Amino acid sequence: MKNYLYIFLSVLFLLTACSKERLVPEPLSFFSPENTLNNKAGLEAVIITMNRRLRNEYAQLENHHLLGEWNYSDMSVNGAPPNNIVHNLELQMTPNSGEDREVSAYWDLAWQAIKDANLVINRAGMIDVTEAEKNELLAQGYFGRSYWYYRLVHQFGDVPLVLEEINSPRLDFYSHSRETILQKITEDLEFAVQWLPESVQPGEVSRAAGSFLLTKCYLALRRFDQAIAEASQVIDGSQYALMTERFGTTEPEFLTYSFLDPDQFDVLWDLHQKNNKSLPENTEAILVVQDQHLTEGNVDDRGTAKMRDTGPVWWQARDPNGVRACTDLDYGSGLRMIEQLGRGVGRMVPSHYVRELRAEDPNDLRYSHNNWFGMERYVYNDPKSDYYGQPFDPNSVTDIRQWYPVAYNKMVYIDETGNTRPDRSSSDEYVYRLAELYLLRAEAYWWKGELDQATADVNTIRARAQATPVATVDIEYIFDERARELYHETPRKSELTRVAYIMAQLGRNGYSLESMHQNNWFYDRVISRNNFYRDEILQGSNIYRIRPYHVYWPIKEAEIRANSLGHINQANGYPGAETNIPPLTDPNQTKPE
């Protein structure tokens, strides 16, 4: 948590250190309470700031936060070889480690947003507004707080539940149980969906977004009928619908050196083009973070480096002669891959499981020529190589980062800034879209044993992709379908942990809450799908390794020590958990009785 947050708020709870400098309030910003939070415009400014926190998750210059949600899951790993990159979670994801940057980044980001939300919630009843205006302000605050608490409990487990505005230094927080937190944010969201507006500008939070998050909370609390009902309000009774026809910008802005087939553009291409995500005609978009090029407040005018993070290091590949046989230089050749693949660095290398998903159905549009760049399409593109124009030789690939498939329609580079090494672009990004809501409802049906309805929802998504319908589904297949549909999009680890938590709460398949750090569905799923962790493959100086207790991430020891007058529990399995005390179970309780 950075010092500038104290300038915004005058004090931020959950300090990362106890130094005198960090404890001194500095209300220097126009965001300080006495300057702006005395009218509706001031609170709306805080809401804008709160909503922009979502962009910080989805649109980083590089090393974007979502990499952690994918790389510490069944889907992928960080392929960068330096020893300060997390491969071995047993050694590099600990309460005192610094390599797991995503862990600290998410912790800080969540508390910043919760601070914003509590300001709005606390002040909404203090200003001169109508009852309806007050309730809408509360709804916005409740959504923002609930969004980040939902993530915290599925990333870290038990954490402090802070419901009030903090105006003075506090070092006396206690952990609440994840179940208590889930119940509280569900209650808040039930209020919020009554008052959030139905129609909003892109980037703002709508009633449908509230219902989307509420559906996830109902699932986490095993309230499956309510999850189905809430999702159905959006799926069946609102302005939203899956996009099934082509729309918006339908061709890329670059075709000079194109790998694309002009006859194979489709709706799944259109759905993920940067100019289309926030269009009014896009009835699938429910919540979209805004980050267009040269717009005020975007991450960086160079754009976010999604292509750099997710793309392979193809340009280092060597041919069977041992000669580097790929180049990002311009030899006037149609094989100039740099303009189409970018200059990736392999921070998200997909597991073999991701590669095998494509094999299920050759007609699936998600793996069509334009939407998916398969491994068979990589060729040596340096005219000086004896193997110029020939496909990569598997026996010559010496680095896992060099050669893997990419969801091409979701990472297309568009040259807006004249980069000589294309690897970035500004783009809006989906947080929630309707396709995922179908899969959440399918999951709720599955938990209830209503397999026909669960299968129907999955097949609705498959039908849009022109994939063959399946006869029946289970939880494993639903998450396979989530991988096909939502790759590069949603926070994978949190959703896997949510299912592991449900399994443990229900006592399914031998899982239990008491032994969750030793035996859980999350770990079993990761080991069965992610070959890097299963086979403990060596990359650089570390092997890839994950353990069952990594179902939750560690709370950093510095955070726990700084809270010297209270007690923040550590996730079970990590050093420090032996001192845990029973978490609070009353949302209004701030310390043990």
Domain ranges of the chain: 4-206+551-579, 254-263+305-425
Question: CA 164 to CA 115: how far, in whole Å?
Answer: 9
* DSSP three-state, residue 28: coil
Q: Residue 320, Cβ neighbours under 10 Å: how many?
A: 14
Read off the tokens for 502: 């449900």
Read off the tokens for 3: 């010092």
Give the CA count within 13 Å in the CB-facing half-sphere of 136.
Answer: 16
Beta bridge partners of 287: 432
* Average pLDDT, consecutive stretches of 10 residues, N- to C-terminus, the chain (593 residues): 34 37 34 65 93 80 80 96 94 96 94 95 95 98 98 98 90 97 98 97 96 98 98 94 92 62 91 92 95 62 74 92 81 55 89 95 95 93 91 94 93 58 75 98 98 98 98 98 95 98 97 97 98 96 97 97 97 98 97 92
Contact between residue 515 and residue 569 where contact means Cβ atoms under 8 Å apart: no
pTM for this predicted structure = 0.92
Question: CA 64 to CA 507: how far, in whole Å?
Answer: 35
**Tens of pLDDT, residues 145-174:** 999 999 999 999 999 999 999 888 889 999
Q: What's the DSSP call for residue 262?
A: T
Residue with tokens 């309470």: 33
Question: CA 264 to CA 274: how far, in whole Å?
Answer: 18
* DSSP three-state, residue 70: helix
* DSSP three-state, residue 235: helix
Read off the tokens for 203: 């980037």
- In the chain, what's the furthest Cα-to-Cα distance? 76
Question: What residues contact 53, with CB distance under 8 A and at least 6 apart?
Answer: 109, 112, 113, 116, 144, 148
> 278-291 burial, b if ≥16 CB within 10 A, otherwise e?
bbeebbbbbbbbbb
Q: Of all residues in the chain, what percent are helix, strand and coil, respectively (each to 5)?
A: 45, 5, 50
Q: Measured between alpha carbons, how far is residue 389 from residues 30, 382, 393 in Å?
A: 59, 8, 12
What is the chain's length?
Answer: 593
CATH number for the domain formed by residue range(s) 4-206+551-579: 1.25.40.890
Question: CA 55 to CA 295: how far, in whole Å?
Answer: 13
Question: CA 2 to CA 24: how far, in whole Å?
Answer: 13
DSSP string, 479-536: HHHHHHHHTTTS-HHHHHHHHHHHHHHHTGGG--STTTTTS-HHHHHHHHH-HHHHTT
Q: Measured between alpha carbons, how far is residue 341 from residues 22, 76, 410, 476 in Å?
A: 44, 19, 12, 31
- Which backbone phi and psi does 42 adopt, to 5 degrees? -65, -45
Terminal alpha carbon distance of the chain: 30
